[in-house]
């Protein structure tokens, strides 16, 4: 199975996936990193592992459709079977999601459906919850929505700060994202079928 990771930032989840592939815990070929930020640290991480970087900047395209078409052309060129979003900070259009429905997954730092959005860890911390966690799910046309593949939780201690909670959440992400990808590849988790309209 050919895998693409989409990321825009530091790339710690990219590194966790790349390590799992290298160690044989994920039986896939990590073919490309798709990135939309030329200064993103994830690019150096990918270069360090020998994974080809596909840099596609939104500002280079007049329309989002053209931007996503350029990405899709690369996905076809590298015969990508599965897309793992790992901090890709652009919403994909409904058309793009429909095209790859059942083949796009995302990781979110909360126990969905709780705390959707870009600041989930902070929102959970500010809400004073005793338990939070991480969700890997299939991507559909709604934000932070879609069938769950894997979830795992952790206790929020009274001594936790926002920084310590963020660190614990990121470590949990690095553990369960490769597990979720492996579940898909092994067939233990089936991709959803699009409902007929």
**Which one of 108, 119, 170, 174 is the catalytic residue?**
108
Long-range contacts formed by 139-142: CB under 8 A, 24+ apart: 139/85, 139/92, 139/97, 139/104, 139/105, 139/106, 140/97, 140/101, 141/94, 141/97, 141/98
Place of tokens 């992400």: 173
Contact 10, 33 (CB under 8 A): no
Closest by CA position to 84, among listed 162, 17, 174, 158: 17
Closest by CA position to 84, among listed 186, 151, 169, 173: 173
Tell me if residue 174 is catalytic: no
Half-sphere exposure of 6 (CA within 13 A, CB side): 24
Cis, bond preceding 153 (omega within 30 deg of 0): no
Among positive and negative, which fits the CA dihedral 31, 29, 47, 169? Answer: positive
Residues marked as catalytic: 108
């Amino acid at each position: 199975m050919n895998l693409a990771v989409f990321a825009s930032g530091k790339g710690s989840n990219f590194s966790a996936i790349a390590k799992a592939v290298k160690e044989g815990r994920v039986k896939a070929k990590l073919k490309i990193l798709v990135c939309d930020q030329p200064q993103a640290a994830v690019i150096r991480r990918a270069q360090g592992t020998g994974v080809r970087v596909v840099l596609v900047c939104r500002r280079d395209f007049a329309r989002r459709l053209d931007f996503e078409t350029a990405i899709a052309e690369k996905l076809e060129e590298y015969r990508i079977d599965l897309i793992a979003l790992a901090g890709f900070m652009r919403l994909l259009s409904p058309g793009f999601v429909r095209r790859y429905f059942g083949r796009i997954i995302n990781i979110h730092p909360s126990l969905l459906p709780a705390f959707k959005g870009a600041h989930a860890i902070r929102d959970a911390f500010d809400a004073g919850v005793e338990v939070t966690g991480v969700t890997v799910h299939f991507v559909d046309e709604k934000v932070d929505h879609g069938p769950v593949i894997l979830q795992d939780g952790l206790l929020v201690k009274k001594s936790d700060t926002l920084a310590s909670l963020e660190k614990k959440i990121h470590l949990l992400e690095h553990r369960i994202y490769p597990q979720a990808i492996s579940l898909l590849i092994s067939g233990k988790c089936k991709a959803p079928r699009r409902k007929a309209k």
